[in-house]
Every structure is written in C-alpha cells, then in structure tokens.
C-alpha cells in the first residue's frame, strides 16, 4: 500500500511539473529538459516519503543507510530518464523502430539478469567469507551467538534469526534471537518449538512458506502469525545438537524465502555448527580445568583463585575464612564396600556442603576427601560457629546401597589476614588446623601459631630420619611382659627410640608417621626386628629364653616380601619362631584380614604369634575376631588404666577377657600402673600384664640389669617396680 501510494504521488507530481512547464515536440531540447526535471522532482518526492517512513520505523540509523545510497539511486534515475527520451525519439521517427527496440530491451533484460545473478553470487560469496571471519573472531571474543544471529538476519533479509541448542547434561538450554530494529538478543523466537524439535530429531532442513512445506507445518506458522521460515540443523559430525532458523522474509507479503536461501542457510549453518561446537568445547575445557570431574565442584586451582580474589579486597569489619573439611574413614569405606560407594559418599558430601553453605560461599573439592569453603564473615568466632553447623549437617547418616554409613569430618579454619596473606599459605595453614581438629572434641580448630610449630618440627624430622639410621641415633628399648599367675617374666615388647642431637628424645608418635610417609617404614621395622632378635639370641645363651614382641604398621602387611624377611632374620639369629610375636593394631588387623590374608597366613605358617594390639579402640566385630589369624589380644591401656575407678572400663576389660577365653586367645593388659589394677586383672583371669608398675621401657643394658635384679631377689613373691 505504501509503495502504491508513493508511486502515485510521485507520478502525479511529475505530471504536474510537466503540465506547468509545458511540453513541446519530442525533438526539442526544451522538452527533454522538462522531462528530466519532472523525473527528478518525482524521484525527490518518493525519496522524501521513503525517508519519513524509515525514520519512523527504524530511526536515525536506518536513515543514515538510505542517505549513503541516495547518490547512486539519483544517477540511475538520470540514466533511466535519458534512455526514456532516446526511446521516445526513436518511436516518433518511425513506428517500425519498436521491433529493434523490443530486441534491444530483451537483450538488456537478459544481460541485466545475468549481471544481477553474478552480483548476487559474488555478494553471497563475500557474505559467506565475512560470516566465516566474523564467527571465527566471535569465538575469541565470546560474542559468537550475538554476531552470528545478527549477520544471518541481515544476509537473509529476515525479521528474526534464532540459534537454539537444547539442554544437555550440565549445559543449559540456549535460545537467543536477533530481531529487526532491536539491539541485543532476546530469549524468544517466532519459530514454533515443534518445528525445531523435528529438525533436531530428523537432522533434515525445513523450508515453510504459504505455498511450500507440509500443511501441518504451515498451520503451525500461521498460528504464530509467521509468514515463512527456514530451519536447518546444527551438526557436529553426524550428530545434530541444535537448530538455526530465520523467519519472516522482509520486502512485503509477496517476497518469500526461496530454495537458494535454504541452500545459503545450510552453508552458513555448517560453519556456524563448527563454531558453536568449538565454543562449547572451549567452555567444557575451561570448566574441566577448574572443576572436579566427580562432584562438579570447583577444584583446587579454582579455589586458589577465589581465595586470591577474596583477600585482594579489604572490607572493614570482615575477615576471609578458609575452612578445610577432611572427611573421615574414606579409606575404610573404599576398602570395605568398594571405591564406587566411596565416590557416592564424596558426591553426597559435596551436595551437603553446597546445601549447608550460606549464599555467597565458595565450596570446592581440594583433594580426594578434602573440601574447602571460602567466604567473608564478621570474625573468627562466626567462622567457628558456621563450621560447627555445617559439620553437624554432614554427620547425618548416608545410605549407600543397603548400608547406613556415618559421616564425620574434621574442620580446620584459617583467617585472613591473621593466618596469612597468600592463598597457598591460608590453605596450608587450614590443613594444619584440620590435623589438630582431629584431636579435639568439637572437631573444629582455628589456626594459631602453636599448631605450626609441631608441623614444622615434623617436617624437619623427615630430613633427619634417614641420617639417623647411619648415625646410630636409633635404639630399641624393652618393656617386660609378666604373667599374672606366678609373676614370671615371659617376654618383652621392643619399642623404637630416637635420640635426636638437637631435639633430644623424639616421641614415637612423631617419628613413626614420618617414617611411613617418607618410605623408611620398612627400614625401621627391619631395624627393630634385628635388634630384638639379636638380643633374644644373646639372652638364650644366658638361659633366658624369653619372647619378644614387635609392633607392625598395617602398611607393612602390604609388602609381600615381608614374611620372607622375617624367616631370614629368624634363621640368621637362630631364634625359634614361637618366641616372636608381631603386634598389629585392631583396625590394621581387620583391614589386613579382609584384604591381605595371604601375608598374615604366611606369617602364622612360620610359627610366629600374631597379636591384636590396642583392642577395644577400633571397629572390629565378633565375626572378624573369630576369623582373624591371631593368638593374642592386647587390651588398650586407656581401658586398663581407668578400670580401678570407672565401672564402664572395668566392664569392658572383663568382657574382653571373657571373649578371649572363649576364642582360646591369650590376653595381655598394657598400661598397668597400680596394685589395685593388677588385682582386678588377676581376679578376671587375665594372662599377662605390662606397664610402669613393673618397669618402664629400658635400654638393653639396663634391661639385663633389671632381669638380674629380679632373679637375685627371691624373697618377695612379687616383682619389684623400678
């Protein structure tokens, strides 16, 4: 309607100009001038009407585009007017000139069509090249969808261009449309969803116009008041992962999308599909680089960045708290019910942490069973309170298959700026606090300088322990084991001791973990075995055939060559295997019995006695105890020392003695320090005791003197305490 009105007004204006100026004969120059003037006036009137409409619908930006093309359109109008005058002169000369003019018009029209097609093809190639370059640059600038949709809309002269990629795993749905006359993108589309779903499922393109496409497709477009649309699949190889579409061809109701537009969009979609897939791959690689694959939580690298970002901004009356959650018993769960169950537990812990953490907190997985939480809080007290609340949430039982598993965690807290001013320092000190938190009732520990001294000292011990073997700083002390029926010496427990030239006497609980983590455990175990068997051989020559007991770490039982080493040492020192007892903690014995029965069985086949050490502190059951290849139980000293004053401890010791008697096992009570305790144990039927009541662990020469003193004093019925 606008075009018809515009041409009518322009034609009427031209006629008015020609009538006002007056027209002469066709061969008069004045007539040519009047005709040219009328044509140019009509052109100006049409341009003014068009400018007014563009200004209303598109604004100043569309008007600028029209002004840029006004000069070329004016030149074309002048050329057309001159051609019209020439045709008028030829026709007035003779009517037969219409025949050659018709031939010339046909030839010109054919040439114009060919030129138009060539220009269109060249423009398509140029547009395709520009589109490819724009898409490549857009991937780098993270504006892929924005640039791609706007370019598609302009190239196909469409009202809207849409990119749609449905939700897949962790990727959300992508639906963005570039509309005509709207800057930016909207999350709507004029293309019906059923059409998009069909393209996604079939992988085939669709061209739908009022006269093309299936009737049901045309009905869907008509229902959405869409004139026409093209939909093509986005593919990665042979897999369709999305859809690219354009809708409502501009230019009026009679102008619609054609087959060549479909071909062009398919070509563009091939480039766009690669770009979108590459963009998603870049996003995936970036996500994987900063997230844990199991829990999809941020990993250590991302958490370190978050800590750095947090501490770089100082906020008055706020601190940055770095909380480290160390989940307990993960090794036992993996060994008992499998790593798949352990992975489920880790995922559940991550889910609970995210649910319990306040808004704005960063939750990440640092290591296998370690999680970090970073957030701003008013002070350290608020951090401790929050850590306690989250720990309580974690302690709820977790169902793994048919089992209910209790979860617990130790929480260490490092505060910025008190605990450090760098991310790695804060995380390291939170780890130090976590190790200390395992020994406090609340399970939560805020870092302080006193905690660091022990860790630094232990780190120094690691470098000194290897030298200690060669320097002769290690020694073995012997603590007597006494029968309760006749108070007779039947054996000793061999205990490693280290006298450091700088630190003095180093406690076993400090250097034995160091040996475990530095690969020196096997050397330490062999050293104690050699010293103990060597002394046992000497005492045999002095008619003192007492037994020796050596503590083993569960890690030693993973060494398949250990039984061979023990057999070789027994032969070397000519000690009967029955005089050697290997003591393994209750938890170590249980895990060994389930995972390494061959090692235990080989040791027992050698004739060596196996003892369950620290019994009562672990998690063994009667079924485990029945199947363990042990012949001796050592009651943990925490129960023995408390049995004289605590009825609960007394009941536990009595139950253990009865249980051992039922399984025909020898019972050893360690930590005996009083006559009353000794009387209770004798009354219960305990077999053997050791502790400070009889003697502290003694060096070899002092132990020999102690034995001589006990043998010389035959008057009292009891052994003397020293």
pLDDT tens sequence across 154-187: 888 899 999 888 887 666 788 889 998 788 889 8
Calpha distance 100→233 (Å, rounded): 51
Q: Which residues of 590-601 are buried (b: 16+ CB within 10 A; e: fewer)?
A: bbbbeeeeebbe
Contact 117, 111 (CB under 8 A): no
For 473, the token pair is: 């700083």
- Residue 593 is predicted with a pLDDT of 46
Contacts of 283 (CB under 8 A, 6+ apart): 171
- Residue 376 is predicted with a pLDDT of 94
For 546, the token pair is: 């007492």
Task: Give per-residue pLDDT as tens, 46-66.
Answer: 888 888 888 887 777 767 777
Average of per-residue pLDDT across 205-231: 91
Task: Give per-residue pLDDT as tens, 585-637.
Answer: 766 665 554 445 578 888 888 999 999 888 866 555 455 566 667 888 898 88
- Residue 716 is predicted with a pLDDT of 46
Task: Give per-residue pLDDT as tens, 2-31.
Answer: 888 888 998 898 899 888 888 877 778 888
Q: Which residues pair with 611 in a beta bridge?
A: 583, 632
Contact 152, 268 (CB under 8 A): yes
**Residue 57: burial class (beta carbons within 10 Å; 0-12, 13-18, 19+):** exposed
Mean model confidence pLDDT for the chain: 84
Average of per-residue pLDDT across 119-134: 67
Model confidence at 242, in pLDDT bands (50, 70, 90)? Answer: confident
Weakest mean pLDDT among 102-111, 459-468, 605-614: 459-468
With helix as H, strand as E and coil as C, how does 99-161 read?
A: HHHHHHHHHHHHHHHHHHHHHHHHHHHHHHHHHHHHHHHHHHHCCHHHHHHHHHHHHCCEEEE
What are the CB-based long-range contacts (under 8 Å, 24+) for 418-423?
A: 418/319, 418/380, 419/322, 419/447, 421/311, 422/308, 422/311, 423/304, 423/305, 423/307, 423/308, 423/311
- Residue 594 is predicted with a pLDDT of 47
Q: In this structure, what are the phi and psi dihedrals at residue 399, rounded to the nearest 5 degrees?
A: -90, 120
- Residue 497 is predicted with a pLDDT of 93
- Residue 374 is predicted with a pLDDT of 95
Calpha distance 475→508 (Å, rounded): 12
Residue 228: is its pLDDT beyond 60?
Answer: yes
For 219, the token pair is: 């009905």
Residue 41: is its pLDDT beyond 60?
Answer: yes
Calpha distance 322→311 (Å, rounded): 11
- Residue 465 is predicted with a pLDDT of 86
Task: Give per-residue pLDDT as tens, 537-585.
Answer: 998 888 778 999 999 988 888 788 899 999 999 999 999 999 999 998 7
**Residue 440: burial class (beta carbons within 10 Å; 0-12, 13-18, 19+):** exposed
- Residue 576 is predicted with a pLDDT of 93
- Residue 303 is predicted with a pLDDT of 93
Model confidence at 452, in pLDDT bands (50, 70, 90)? Answer: low
pTM of model > 0.75: no
Which parts of 237-298 are beta strand (E)? 239-249
- Residue 722 is predicted with a pLDDT of 47
Share of the chain above pLDDT 70, in %: 88
- Residue 687 is predicted with a pLDDT of 93
Calpha distance 324→480 (Å, rounded): 43
Residue 286: is its pLDDT beyond 70?
Answer: no
Average of per-residue pLDDT across 491-501: 92
Which parts of 384-537 are beta strand (E)? 398-400, 403-405, 409-416, 444-446, 474-483, 489-500, 504-506
Contact 353, 361 (CB under 8 A): no
Weakest mean pLDDT among 366-370, 376-380, 511-515: 511-515
Calpha distance 577→87 (Å, rounded): 127
For 417, the token pair is: 């700026």
Contacts of 639 (CB under 8 A, 6+ apart): 616, 649, 652, 653, 656
Question: Which DSSP helix (H) or strand (E) runs through 236?
Answer: strand 229-236
Residue that wins the pLDDT comparison between 453 and 182? 182
């Amino acid at each position: 309607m606008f075009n018809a009105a515009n041409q009518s007004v322009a034609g009427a204006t031209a006629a008015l100009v020609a009538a006002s100026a007056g027209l002469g004969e066709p061969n008069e120059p004045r007539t040519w001038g009047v005709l040219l003037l009328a044509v140019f006036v009509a052109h100006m009137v049409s341009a003014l009407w068009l400018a007014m409409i563009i200004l209303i619908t598109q604004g100043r930006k569309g008007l600028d585009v029209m002004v840029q093309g006004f000069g070329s359109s004016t030149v074309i109008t002048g050329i057309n007017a001159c051609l019209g005058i020439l045709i008028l002169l030829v026709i007035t000369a003779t009517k037969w000139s219409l025949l050659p003019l018709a031939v010339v018009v046909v030839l010109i029209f054919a040439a114009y069509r060919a030129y138009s097609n060539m220009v269109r093809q060249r423009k398509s190639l140029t547009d395709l090249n520009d589109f490819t370059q724009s898409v490549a640059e857009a991937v780098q600038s993270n504006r892929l969808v924005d640039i791609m949709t706007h370019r598609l809309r302009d190239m196909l002269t469409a009202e809207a261009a849409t990119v749609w990629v449905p939700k897949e795993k962790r990727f959300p749905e992508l639906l963005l449309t570039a509309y005509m006359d709207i800057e930016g993108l909207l999350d709507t589309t004029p293309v019906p969803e059923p059409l998009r779903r069909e393209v996604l499922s079939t992988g085939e393109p669709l061209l739908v116009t009022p006269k093309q496409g299936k009737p049901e497709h045309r009905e869907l477009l008509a229902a959405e008041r869409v004139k026409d649309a093209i939909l093509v699949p986005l593919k990665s190889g042979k897999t369709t992962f999305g859809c690219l579409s354009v809708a409502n061809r501009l230019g009026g109701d009679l102008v619609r999308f054609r087959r060549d537009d479909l071909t062009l969009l398919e070509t563009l979609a091939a480039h766009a599909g690669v770009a979108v897939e590459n963009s998603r791959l870049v996003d995936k690689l970036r996500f994987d680089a900063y997230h844990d694959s199991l829990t999809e939580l941020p990993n250590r690298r991302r958490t370190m960045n978050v800590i750095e970002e947090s501490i770089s901004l100082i906020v008055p009356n706020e601190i940055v708290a770095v909380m480290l959650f160390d989940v307990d018993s993960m090794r036992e769960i993996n060994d008992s019910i499998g790593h798949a169950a352990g992975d489920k537990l880790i995922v559940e812990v991550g889910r609970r942490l995210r649910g319990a953490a306040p808004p704005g907190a960063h939750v990440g997985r640092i290591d296998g069973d370690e999680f970090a939480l970073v957030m701003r809080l008013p002070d350290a007290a608020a951090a401790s309170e929050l850590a306690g609340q989250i720990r309580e949430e974690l302690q709820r039982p977790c169902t793994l298959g048919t089992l209910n598993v209790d979860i617990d965690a130790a929480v260490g807290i490092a505060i910025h700026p008190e605990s450090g001013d760098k991310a790695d320092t804060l995380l390291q000190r939170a780890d130090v606090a976590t190790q200390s938190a395992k020994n406090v009732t609340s399970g939560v520990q805020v870092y302080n300088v006193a905690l660091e001294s022990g860790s630094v000292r232990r780190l120094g011990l690691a470098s000194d322990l290897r030298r200690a073997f060669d320097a002769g700083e290690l020694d073995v002390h012997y603590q007597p084991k006494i029968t309760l029926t006749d108070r007779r010496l039947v054996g000793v427990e061999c205990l490693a001791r280290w006298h450091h030239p700088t630190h003095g006497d180093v406690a076993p609980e400090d250097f034995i973990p160091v040996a475990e983590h530095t690969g020196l455990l096997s050397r330490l175990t062999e050293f104690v075995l050699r010293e103990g068997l060597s002394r046992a051989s000497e005492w045999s020559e002095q008619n003192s055939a007492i037994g020796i007991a050596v503590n083993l770490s569960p890690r030693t039982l993973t060494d398949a060559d250990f039984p061979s080493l023990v057999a070789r040492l027994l032969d070397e020192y000519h000690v009967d295997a029955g005089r050697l007892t290997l003591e393994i903690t209750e938890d170590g014995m249980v895990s060994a019995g389930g995972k390494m029965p061959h090692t235990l069985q080989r040791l027992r086949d050698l004739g060596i006695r196996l003892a369950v050490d620290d019994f009562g502190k672990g998690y063994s059951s009667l079924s485990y105890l029945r199947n363990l290849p042990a012949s001796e139980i050592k009651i943990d000293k925490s129960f023995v020392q408390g049995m004289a004053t605590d009825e609960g401890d007394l009941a536990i010791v009595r139950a253990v003695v009865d249980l051992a008697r039922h399984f025909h096992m020898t019972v050893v009570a360690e930590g005996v320090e009083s006559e009353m305790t000794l009387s209770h144990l004798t009354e219960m039927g305990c077999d053997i005791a050791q502790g400070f009541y009889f003697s502290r662990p003694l060096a070899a020469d002092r132990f020999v003197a102690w034995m001589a003193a006990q043998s010389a004093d035959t008057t009292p019925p009891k052994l003397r305490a020293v």
